[in-house]
């Protein structure tokens, strides 16, 4: 009897051990397309600063999300709408201004090392001006989300129906570095599709019930697989 119990305890312990090993190895090897994936980017662009503190609308940069399949990542030219004049963070600029005042001189233009990378990608020098000796080379942002090719996903069908970015991507405006928040597995897609019409889990306050009944939220295989 006690031998049988010990064997059982041993097996249970082995099972727990195997599970722990499985999860901890999954933890250190996050890959593109996995929940929690937070790759380093070529430049320290922060959503917390831009979308959070500065309050820039998601669609100002990811304008594709409203009209097309892909949300897209904005070209560096779009950043220049502001960074043509903003060449450094507010704090650094304020410090330089104070120092200049104290020393009785003109404030120098300063450029943050991160924005220098933005300018270089556009063939511009640290002052933000075009410089022929610098060859333009687009920033190579690392993809965070990546569904397999056999899945059809479309941003505009969701975004134009009022599904908030945050319901799939989480609190991006508080992230310095974007991470994949949802699991983005088939079950994750289908759970939300099934729940439509019975829960208010996503932002749909603006719709009335009649409109909601007409909604076409599919769980047919062909909606997501060619």
Report, in Å, the least distance between residue 127 CB and ligand HEC: 15
CB of 183 to ligand HEC, least distance (A): 8
CB atoms within 10 A of CB 120: 18
Q: Which is nearer to ligand HEC, 15 or 114 (CB)?
A: 114
Shortest Å, Cβ 1 to ligand HEC: 43
Dig out the tokens for 100 from the structure. 């200049």
* Residues paired with 151 in a beta bridge: 225
SS3 199: strand
Question: Which residue number, 91 or 132, has a Cβ lying nearer to ligand HEC?
Answer: 91
3-state per-residue secondary structure call for 73-139: CCCHHHHHHHHCCCCCCHHHHHHHHHHHHHHCCCCCCCCCHHHHHHHHHCCECCCCCECCCCCCCCC
Q: How far is the CB of 174 from ligand HEC (least distance, A)?
A: 9
User: Looking at beta carbons only, is 131 or 207 nearer to ligand HEC?
Assistant: 207
Our CB check for ligand HEC shows the closer of 78 and 100 to be 78
């Amino acid at each position: 009897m006690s031998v049988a119990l010990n064997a059982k305890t041993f097996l249970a312990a082995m099972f727990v051990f195997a599970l722990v090993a499985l999860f901890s190895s999954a933890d250190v090897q996050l890959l593109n397309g996995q929940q929690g994936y937070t790759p380093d980017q070529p430049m320290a662009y922060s959503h917390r600063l831009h979308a959070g503190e500065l309050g820039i609308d998601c669609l100002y940069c990811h304008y594709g999300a409203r009209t097309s399949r892909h949300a897209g990542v904005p070209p560096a030219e779009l950043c220049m709408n502001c960074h043509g004049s903003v060449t450094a963070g507010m704090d650094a600029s304020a410090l330089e201004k104070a120092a200049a005042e104290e020393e009785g001189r003109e404030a120098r233009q300063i450029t943050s090392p991160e924005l220098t990378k933005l300018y270089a990608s556009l063939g511009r020098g640290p002052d933000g001006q075009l410089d022929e000796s610098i060859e333009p080379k687009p920033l190579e942002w690392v993809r965070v989300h990546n569904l397999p090719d056999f899945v059809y996903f479309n941003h505009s069908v969701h975004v134009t129906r009022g599904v908030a970015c945050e319901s799939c991507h989480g609190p991006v405006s508080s992230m310095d570095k974007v991470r994949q928040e949802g699991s983005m597995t088939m079950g994750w897609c289908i759970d939300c599709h099934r729940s439509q019409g019975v829960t208010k889990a996503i932002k749909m306050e603006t719709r009335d019930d009649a409109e909601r009944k007409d909604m076409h939220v599919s769980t047919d295989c062909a909606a997501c697989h060619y």
